[in-house]
Amino acid sequence: MSSKAIVLDANILIRAVLGKRVRELITAHAEDVRFFAPDVAYADARKYLPGLLKKRGISPEPAIAVLDGLVPIVQIIDGEIYAEAKTQALQRIGTRDADDWPVLACAMIVGCPVWTEDADFFGTGIATWTTDRIALYLA
């Protein structure tokens, strides 16, 4: 197994459920890359998916099942583990979006980049990959 790892933001978990490309990238690299997400990222995805799907007239239950199916591949990091990096993560992310500190803290604890579509992570001192470029990192 590779020593490559990456922390996923909630928006990437949601994209993995709603679309094919992100889910295919995760599953294609599951053997070689360790994927992580803070517990709150999964909680946010569970919170926002039903509303997003309702707007599209789609039942949320199958989507939640897809999200649950990611758990063996995208390991959940418990809040107790990343809480020790909260102060430093908040200092780094500043006032851009303080709610994103758990993702940043997980990346700091694991020592790896973040996969996100959220520009708030840029300039935090942690490498940040977006979906249009993530294949370069995963390869």
d(CA 96, CA 135): 27
Q: What share of the chain is helix, strand, coil (3-state, %, to 5)?
A: 60, 15, 30
Q: Domain 4-138: give its CATH architecture.
A: 3-Layer(aba) Sandwich (3.40)
Q: What is the mean pLDDT of the chain?
A: 93
Q: What confidence category does residue 94 fall into, taking pLDDT thresholds of 50, 70 and 90?
A: confident
d(CA 50, CA 103): 22
pLDDT per residue as tens digits for the range 29-87: 999 999 999 999 999 999 999 999 988 898 999 999 999 999 999 999 999 999 999 99
CB 27 within 8 A of CB 17: no
d(CA 129, CA 25): 13
pLDDT given for residue 88 in this prediction: 95
The full set of domain ranges for the chain reads 4-138
